[in-house]
């Protein structure tokens, strides 16, 4: 290769890797595999060394993502570097040889731990109290995301015991467990939001949200993997991890101390078979020289320490053919395209279907019926199409576009502004009916005992019910022909249905299945609008002004109430005698009249629900979020971001004891 050819290839590789970094870190949408990324990076570094083409701005000299303007930028006192990667035994043995060459005959051991596929964080504790949480960023600077990290249950706000130094610097990885990620993604698709490609992207996106209350709802976990000490010590990495555990920080129990590289390879071989049994993703192991005193001597490159290396597992993939693309209809009408595959064995199971998420994902990957595609399991659970195997094949079918009619009821599909998903808004669309009724009858809604999935399937299948209002016209005689339905069980179920008429207005609102309206939002709406008629007549702006609601929820409520089919069902519920008005709690005094409270943290003797009922019993009101209209924040132990926001806004913070004094 000539110098000019090397310059051209280096420019090409830098552009390719810059784009890959942008998609991976900033957009949470990886466009190439980790293995391909590392291959390009090794080629770039080799060319830069061979032809003297080093540049401080090159991807080979930089770490991680860009800095976000939405957060305060913080300097890392010690750079948060990346790790050199290897995918085979030979390269791992080469790492061992380099370490031995530098240390000579001095004895050392290896510390081996799982490598988590998440987002690296830096925590800083001062006098045992969490003061800062930051992203890795570019390695030298990161984003201050302290408010979001305070909501993570795995990260203590205060260290336990009292033997910690004045300043404690911790490095760790935030991640999502596979099953929690699957549930979270399913809920996003139900809400018409784009699904995340993998748990790592979901974690990164959640931690960079501008509203910490939303971060708090995401199922994010955390493991520590390093403790940074100000000076060299004679301790080992294992001892550092044990210190973190003593202070109440979470450290992975899957860790090993090895005498030789042969021991390390045995562990890797074992993990290749057992890692699928773990509840979270691990894309490899990290091998570190265990003795701290050798770290500085072994040194660092611009991007990574020389005393550690990551051995990465190959993601198991398979190639198969897309026979067809079908459409699934969710509870709230969300349309999800699914690739119907030629059955193929992958990660121990036969895969026949893979979610394609939405039209944007299909278009981005240019997926078509009849394509040969490469698939893998995201998080070892969810099959996904990685890419088309032969995108330049001249015999491919036409680009796939989701039809604009519901596959089940032929109603026209709609796409709300700012959303990627198409939805069927017909409440009597057959696939939606069963799931909507199941939600309506659930414990947090109308709590109809005995109204399980099997019973609902039979009722819908027999055309006895077409929506949840039809439950209230059922008779014992209607139920008796159903499987496993005797006279007594039929009477009990009818009794449970009739008893549900006494459920309060907010439970009914939640049961209606309005998008984005959970049980808390339903209570807020019931407090603000005492009748269903008042809510149906309220404008979108008026609904958005209710504490804890906002524009997105208000638009969804207004859309639900404006649809004639929903208005008809509400009138049916009225005719059957359900409570479409809010019965105010009995007021014992007016001592808190005009006062709006937000409750946060763990109170000494009251649950949050009990505290809210106590406030309401004395004419006060309770909302879920802090704003300039909040009168008091009732704070208990481990109060989080709501307390911080209250202090910034100058809102008075009271304790449980203060509240009881105010009432008395």
Q: Please name the residue that has the structure tokens 């690296």.
A: 120
Beta-bridge partners for 113:
255, 286
Beta bridge pairs of residue 175:
221
Catalytic pick among 3, 22, 100, 115 = 115
pLDDT higher than threshold 60 for residue 27: no
Verdict on whether the full-model pTM lies above 0.85: no
Q: What domains can you pick out in the chain, each with its CATH number?
A: 3-61 (1.10.287.610), 73-312 (3.30.470.30), 317-388 (2.40.50.140), 430-575 (1.10.150.20), 596-663 (3.40.50.10190)
pLDDT digits (tens, 9 = 90+) for 598-626: 888 888 888 777 888 888 888 888 776 68
Beta strands in 177-281 (DSSP E): 220-228, 255-258
Percent of the chain scoring above 70 in pLDDT:
91
Q: Rounded to an integer, what distance in angstroms lies between the CA atom of residue 41 and that of residue 49?
A: 12
H or E element in which residue 215 lies: helix 212-215
Can you list the positions of beta strands (E) in 24-126? 73-75, 85-86, 110-116, 119-126
Task: Respond yes or no: is residue 648 known to be catalytic.
Answer: no
Quote the CA–CA distance of 327 and 312 in Å, as a whole number: 36
pLDDT in tens, 246-272: 999 999 999 999 999 999 999 999 998
Task: Provide the pLDDT confidence category of residue 627 given band limits of 50, 70 and 90.
Answer: confident
The answer, yes or no, to whether residue 571 has pLDDT greater than 80, is: yes
Maximum alpha-carbon separation in the chain: 89
Query: Using CA atoms, how far apart are residues 502 and 396, in angstroms rounded to an integer?
Result: 59
How far is Cα 103 from Cα 516, in angstroms, rounded to an integer? 60
Residue 585 pLDDT > 70, yes or no? no
**What token pair was written down for 150?**
């305070």
H or E, element range at 648: helix 641-649
- Contact by Cβ (8 Å): 598, 633: yes
Residue 496 and residue 450 in contact, taking contact as beta carbons nearer than 8 Å: yes
């Amino acid at each position: 290769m000539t110098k000019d050819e090397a310059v051209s290839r280096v420019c090409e590789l830098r552009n390719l890797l810059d784009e890959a970094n942008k998609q991976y870190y900033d957009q949470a949408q990886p466009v190439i595999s980790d293995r391909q990324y590392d291959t390009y990076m090794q080629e770039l570094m080799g060319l830069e060394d061979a032809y003297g083409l080093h540049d401080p701005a090159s991807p080979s000299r930089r770490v991680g993502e860009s800095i976000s303007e939405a957060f305060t930028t913080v300097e890392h006192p010690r750079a948060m570097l990346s790790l050199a990667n290897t995918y085979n035994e030979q390269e791992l043995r080469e790492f061992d040889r380099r370490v031995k060459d530098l240390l000579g005959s001095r004895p050392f051991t290896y510390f081996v731990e799982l490598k988590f596929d998440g987002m690296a964080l830096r925590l800083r504790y001062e006098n045992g109290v969490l003061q800062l949480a930051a992203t890795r960023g570019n390695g030298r600077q990161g984003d201050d995301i302290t408010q979001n990290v305070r909501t993570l249950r795995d990260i203590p706000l205060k260290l336990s015991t009292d033997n910690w130094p004045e300043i404690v610097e911790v490095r760790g990885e935030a991640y999502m467990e596979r099953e929690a990620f699957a549930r979270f993604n399913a809920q996003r698709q139900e809400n018409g939001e784009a699904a995340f490609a993998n748990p790592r992207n979901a974690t990164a996106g959640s931690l960079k949200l501008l509203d910490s209350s939303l971060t708090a709802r995401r199922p994010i976990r955390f493991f520590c993997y390093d403790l940074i000490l100000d000076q060299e010590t004679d301790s080992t990495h294992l001892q550092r991890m044990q210190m973190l555990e003593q202070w109440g920080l979470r450290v992975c129990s899957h860790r090993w101390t090895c005498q030789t590289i042969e021991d390390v390879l045995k562990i890797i071989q074992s993990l290749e078979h057992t890692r699928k049994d773990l509840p979270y993703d691990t894309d490899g192991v990290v091998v570190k020289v265990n003795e701290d005193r050798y770290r500085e001597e072994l040194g660092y490159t611009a991007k990574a320490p020389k005393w550690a290396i990551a051995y990465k597992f190959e993601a198991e993939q398979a190639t198969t053919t897309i026979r067809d693309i079908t459409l699934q209809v969710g509870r709230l009408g969300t349309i999800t395209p699914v690739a119907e595959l030629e059955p193929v064995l992958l990660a121990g199971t036969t895969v026949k279907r893979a979610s394609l998420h939405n039209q944007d994902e299909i278009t981005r990957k240019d997926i078509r019926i009849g394509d040969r595609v490469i698939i893998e399991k995201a998080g070892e659970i969810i099959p996904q199409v990685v890419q088309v195997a032969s995108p330049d094949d001249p015999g491919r079918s036409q680009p796939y576009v989701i039809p604009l009619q519901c596959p089940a009821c032929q109603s026209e599909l709609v796409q709300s502004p700012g959303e990627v998903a198409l939805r069927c808004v017909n409440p009597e669309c057959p696939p939606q009916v069963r799931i909507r009724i199941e939600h309506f009858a659930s414990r947090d809604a109308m709590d109809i005992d005995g109204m399980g999935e099997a019973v609902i399937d039979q009722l819908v299948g027999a055309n006895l019910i077409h929506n949840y209002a039809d439950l209230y016209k059922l008779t014992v005689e209607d139920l008796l022909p159903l499987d496993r339905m005797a006279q007594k069980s039929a009477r009990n179920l009818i009794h449970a249905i009739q008893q549900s008429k006494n459920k309060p207005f907010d439970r009914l609102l939640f049961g209606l299945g309005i998008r984005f309206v959970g049980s808390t939002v339903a209570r807020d709406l019931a407090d603000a609008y005492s009748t269903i008629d008042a809510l149906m007549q309220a404008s979108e702006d008026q609904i958005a002004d209710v504490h804890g609601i906002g524009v997105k929820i208000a638009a969804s409520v207004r859309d639900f109430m404006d649809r004639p089919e929903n208005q008809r069902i509400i009138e049916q519920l009225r005719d059957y005698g359900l409570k479409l008005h809010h019965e105010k709690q009995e007021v014992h005094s007016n001592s808190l009249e005009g006062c709006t409270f937000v409750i946060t943290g763990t109170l000494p003797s009251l649950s949050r629900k009990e505290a809210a009922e106590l406030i309401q019993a004395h004419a006060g009101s309770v909302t879920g979020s802090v704003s300039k209209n909040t009168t008091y924040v009732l704070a208990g132990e481990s109060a989080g971001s709501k307390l911080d926001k209250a202090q910034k806004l100058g809102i008075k913070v009271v304790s449980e004891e203060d509240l009881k004094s105010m009432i008395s």
